[in-house]
Amino acid sequence: MSSHDSPTNLSTPARTISWILQIIAAAILAQTLFFKLTGAPETVALFDTLGLEPIGRYGTASAELIAVVLLLIPRTITLGALLALGVISGAIMSHLTKLGISIDPEALGNPDLQPLAGPSLFAMAIMVFVASLLVLAIRRASIPVVGPKLARASA
């Protein structure tokens, strides 16, 4: 744990808010991770639609698993938030460029996506993105490489 990110340097409200956000991001990532790792048909169909099945599904699941673990270990919170932000940015770009904000299985020509129809996946991705970004803002002093400069700039 960086000295800038020690419990004495983060106020109790900031630390509490950070942990709530970390748990939200980790819970959403863990829930979607389950479907990727078990090969749920709708998840396979999603990555097939993206042209990334199965490598993209397993790669994303691996990155999500690492992000979940890092978000829940005090010494690695900012690394987890950075990784979660990166992974979820890819998901958001997939929605904006190929899947649509609201998944329409008929328009995408893949009826196996029916259980994923609607905007819920995009909404969850936005929640993870915002939660991770806020965790990084709260714990900016412990961001690798740039954290000390950010801490001095905000002091």
The whole-number pLDDT of residue 155 equals 59
According to DSSP, the residues that pair with 118 across neighbouring strands are 103
The whole-number pLDDT of residue 5 equals 44
> Phi and psi (nearest 5°) for 99?
-90, -30
The whole-number pLDDT of residue 4 equals 44
Is 129 within the bounds of a domain? yes
Residue that is written with structure tokens 């790669």 in the block: 59
Is 40 within the bounds of a domain? yes
Contact 92, 126 (CB under 8 A): yes
- The series of mean pLDDT values per 10 residues for the chain, 155 residues long, is 52 96 98 94 96 97 98 97 98 97 95 94 98 96 80 67
- Domain span at residue 101? 10-154
Is 2 within the bounds of a domain? no
Is 3 within the bounds of a domain? no
Is 17 within the bounds of a domain? yes
The count of domains in the chain is 1
The whole-number pLDDT of residue 154 equals 67
Is 36 within the bounds of a domain? yes
